[in-house]
Amino acid sequence: MPDRNSYDKLKILFINIIAILYKATALNVHRLHSDLREVKVVVNTCKQEIWIPQLFIFLISGLLLMRFLMCFMGLASNIVAIYPILTNSQPELLMPSIIVQILDNVALNIYEIVLGYACLKYLHPDSFAVFIVFLVKMIIKTTCCVSAL
């Protein structure tokens, strides 16, 4: 019968490889470019002063770029984290992966919630019900991400 310790190590390694493959597929520059173009089109549909949509275009584009960069950094840190998982040595190599997950899954989710609220309040104030659904989704997502840490 296999050792319980080796089973846990294999499980963590499997999750890490799945995360690497997912992040590698998410690094799509063409999708990022189309998302950045779509931001301008969607934000410009509001009937606000000229500076408010420009501010939101900047903030939303910044969020998309940060998600893209965090995906890239997460991919690199998960590749580095394979060595300590396999050898049970140098646990400090796991810290970049944990830090990137905290930034990506907690900090950027909170920023996305605040930005989503601000967008719906200033750009489309009549759609508050959409924000409630968005908020519930983001709370569930953040809770799952924190529990996975």
CA 86 to CA 12: how far, in whole Å? 10
Closest by CA position to 122, among listed 37, 43, 65? 43
pLDDT of 149 reads 65
Q: Is the dihedral of CA 138, 134, 22, 77 positive or negative?
A: negative
pLDDT at 1 over 70: no
Tell me, yes or no, if the pTM score tops 0.75: yes
pLDDT tens-digit readout, 123-141: 777 777 777 888 888 888 8
- Show the DSSP H helices in the chain as ranges: 4-26, 29-43, 51-80, 82-87, 95-102, 108-122, 128-148
Residue 148, pLDDT above cutoff 70: no
* Residues 85 and 16 sit within 8 Å (Cβ to Cβ): yes
Is pLDDT of 2 > 70? no
Q: Which two tokens stand for residue 103?
A: 């930034």
Token readout for 96 is 């970049």
Q: Which amino acid is at 48?
A: Q
pLDDT band at 22 (very low <50, low <70, confident <90, very high): confident
d(CA 63, CA 66): 5
How far is 28 from 31, CA to CA, in rounded Å? 5
